[in-house]
Chains A and B, each alone.
Chain A
Amino acid sequence: MPGPVDNSLYNYVKLSFKEGLNPNFIIQLSDTIMRRTWEFTPEAELIVSNVNDNQKNTKLLPHIKTRTGIIGIERSLQEKQKETDENISLAFQDLTKLMDMAKDMVAISKTISVKIRARQGDITEDETVRFKAYLMSLGIDDPVTRDAYKSSNEYFKQLAKQLACILEEPIKEVGGMMTLTDVYCRVNRARGLELLSPEDLLHASRQLAPLGLPIVLRSFDSGVMVLQICSHNDNAVVDLKEKKFMTAEDLAQSEGISMLLARERLLVTEKYGKACRDDSIEALRFYPNLFLEEISSE
């Protein structure tokens, strides 16, 4: 019977040697038989398996413990912590790898930008468009070297069109003008996912005028930026003539617009020479500009 078997019908073992017999073998064999090694080995194995059982038991015991008592809770918390620790360290390992990759990308894109500079093209070539898209997806903003080659990204253009589409009605409702922060709130609240970053919104808004869309970006002297309907012009002067004077709050209330916008509108009116100010402790009031009007009527 070739090969080892677990059980045998026979109570003897027959050994045959085809290529001579090493005399050491018989000595070793008789030695082993004398020492009854086969009886010893299973015993040792038994001990080992017992130890294993014990370990299993000790492992089982805390497992039971986790269900009951404060110690159990603490233990499960500890286990969870260990798990998250491992996850975090794993994540960071991945991150560093990812960042290494990104670094390469940055280096490559810089060399490409140098090449584009050498070419000196101010037309919106397809290549530069694509390059800009790559930069966007990497999160590298490099407008200083890029602006000369390509007015802005395709993405912004599309976004600008979308903005014009969704904002035209709301802006008309609030009187033809909306601050950029309000726009930001509105658009992102409507979106829910795939939100816009402030930069995206600003860049897209800058594209509104070149694309000939019905709303345009406008920045006041104070730096406040608004989107306004093209047909809208500053009509705060009319309000001033109806009343004797007006503060920003008054205008905000009567027009139903924000304080910020009311103030800007009054300041613009003043800039056009249609209003003059009365600055006192009470408030900053705006009056119709009688200085210029009285003299012209005389």
Chain B
Amino acid sequence: MAEIEWPWQYSFPPFFTLQPHADTRAKQIAAWKSLVLEYYRITKQAVVDVREIHTNPLFNNASINRKLPSEAVLVILEELGKSGNASPLDKTKQRWLVYWHTLEEW
């Protein structure tokens, strides 16, 4: 597995709590989106299973003891879906396909 250069947000605990303030939240989600894409591109993975996210170091930072809650993960995946970087594999939205590049870019 390739080494990932974590952004500063990754070790910033508030990053793992969905922010109620609108502007802050927008910035937070944007940071998450780029981090998710980066992570999947480097680790060469494509499938996200919401039920298994907490085994994934991306959403679970053991060094600061913070996990991103499942609801927040879903929010981020929905956002990725809107920009064409992800799509759900099943109707319950438990499994997602992450595109390193959008389909148009390919």
Contacts and interface: CB of A to CB of B under 8 A. Distances in A.
Interface of A: 245, 270-271, 273, 276-280, 285, 287, 289-292, 294-295
A245 B65 CA distance: 16
A277 B17 contact: yes
Nearest to B27: A291
Contacts of B105: none
Interface string B4-33: 000011001110110111011001100100
A291 B8 contact: no
Contact of A270 (B12, B13, B20, B31): B20
Nearest to A270: B21
A280 B13 contact: yes
Judged by DSSP, the binding face of B is helix
A277 B8 contact: no
Contacts of B17: 276-280
A277 B19 contact: yes
Contacts, number: 52
Given A271-B21, A289-B24, A292-B24, A277 B14 contact: yes
A273 B13 contact: no
Contacts of B41: none
Contacts of B95: none
B21 A276 contact: yes
A273 B8 contact: no
B24 A245 contact: no
B9 to A, nearest CB: 8
Contacts of A278: 13-14, 16-17, 66
B79 to A, nearest CB: 15
Nearest to B66: A280
Nearest to B69: A279
A277 B20 contact: yes
A88 B42 CA distance: 87
Given A280-B13, A290-B12, 4 more contacts: A270-B24, A276-B17, A276-B24, A290-B14
15 contacts: A270-B21, A270-B24, A273-B23, A273-B24, A276-B21, A277-B14, A280-B65, A285-B14, A287-B12, A290-B14, A291-B9, A291-B19, A292-B23, A294-B8, A295-B27
A289 to B, nearest CB: 6
A58 to B, nearest CB: 84
A161 B69 CA distance: 51
A292 B27 contact: yes
Contacts of A294: 8
Contacts of A270: 20-21, 24
Contacts of B27: 291-292, 295
Nearest to A295: B27
Interface in B35-54: none
Contacts of B28: 276, 291
A295 B66 CA distance: 23
B16 A291 contact: no
